[in-house]
Amino acid sequence: MLNKYIKWIKRGNILLIPFDTVWGLATDATNNIAVKKIFLIKKRPLSKPISVLMPNAKYSRGNFTYLIKYKEKPQLCPLCFSDINNFVVGERLIEKKYLIQKICVAYGRPLTATSANLSNATAIINYLDAQNFYQLIPECYKKNVMLVNSKINMSGKPSQIIDLTGDKPKKN
């Protein structure tokens, strides 16, 4: 099953898939075209970066997104970090037991980790709502989105953001 999802992502496509707390949109975070499609689907301002899952991240229990400042430009789509001169990336940590993290590790490259909803709308927490969201996707992008069949209901609780860009970690 993982191979099916990996092949889909490799072709520049997007998964509509449960994460650990909400349903999300996942694609190769190094593929500029695929990442931009997520922004267009979500109607998200291009100035608002999306977080990423890293295949080699250190895992912790709980749902966290760490803001990390890179010294050099990260090998990611520029829409995944704050700006051209300030390389701050939101690295989302999800436990290895979740399908999306298994896909990320098997794929070996960063994936986008953004909620599957229109920008500033309520997060999706169940399959029925994910199906309804899929129906809202414009036809020109729908062919690039695979809805993963899952009956798991999510908590809807957003990840806690921990800013590691300063001298001391701070919760946002």
For residue 100, give its domain range: 2-171
Whole-number percent of the chain with pLDDT over 90: 67
Residue 62 reports pLDDT greater than 90:
no
Residue 46: CATH number of its domain: 3.90.870.10
Domain total of the chain: 1
Q: What is the pTM for the complete model shown?
A: 0.93
Give yes or no for a contact between 89 and 52, defined as CB atoms under 8 angstroms apart: yes
- What does the pLDDT read at residue 18? 95
Residue 158 reports pLDDT greater than 90:
no
Is 103 in a helix, a strand, or coil? helix
Residue 15 reports pLDDT greater than 90:
yes
Confidence of residue 83 (pLDDT cuts 50, 70, 90): low
User: CB within 8 A of 47, min separation 6: which ones?
Assistant: none
- For the ranges 51-55, 87-91, 152-156, 163-167, the lowest mean pLDDT is seen at 152-156
The predicted-structure confidence for 124-148, as pLDDT tens digits, reads as follows 999 999 999 999 999 999 999 999 9
Give yes or no for a contact between 15 and 106, defined as CB atoms under 8 angstroms apart: no
Dist. CA 3–CA 63, nearest whole Å: 26
Q: Name the E strands within the chain.
A: 14-18, 23-26, 52-53, 64-69, 88-93, 111-112, 114-115, 145-147, 160-163, 170-171
